[in-house]
């Protein structure tokens, strides 16, 4: 039970960090891109999709590393 709680706490912490990264991206990176690349009106969706894909891969990779193989 203790190991499951550790994994739960780590996933919660990673989710918190992912939320902070998403907020910083929405506040700073997307407006900057909208100024630099005005021709791409839909850049907000592209950046959001890319950020979501990266965050998901990061979270799943960390989860897979933390849990390890089940060869016990």
Q: Which of 44, 45, 20, 22 is nearest to 33 (CA)?
A: 44
Check residue 36 and give its pLDDT: 72
φ, ψ dihedrals at 40, nearest 5°: -90, 95
pLDDT above 60 (res 14): yes
Taking a C-beta distance cutoff of 8 angstroms, is the pair 9, 26 a contact?
no
pLDDT above 70 (res 39): no
Q: If DSSP codes are grouped into helix, strand and coil, which group holds residue 49? A: helix
Taking the alpha carbons at both ends of the chain, their separation in whole angstroms is: 16
Mean pLDDT of the chain: 79
- List pLDDT tens digits, range 40-67: 556 677 777 788 888 888 888 888 888 8
Check residue 58 and give its pLDDT: 86
């Amino acid at each position: 039970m203790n190991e499951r709680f550790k994994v739960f706490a780590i996933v919660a912490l990673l989710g918190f960090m992912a939320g902070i990264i998403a907020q910083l991206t929405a506040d700073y990176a997307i407006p900057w891109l909208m100024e630099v690349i005005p021709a791409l009106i839909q850049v907000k969706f592209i950046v959001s999709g890319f950020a979501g894909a990266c965050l998901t891969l990061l979270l799943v990779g960390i989860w897979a590393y933390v849990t390890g193989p089940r060869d016990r």
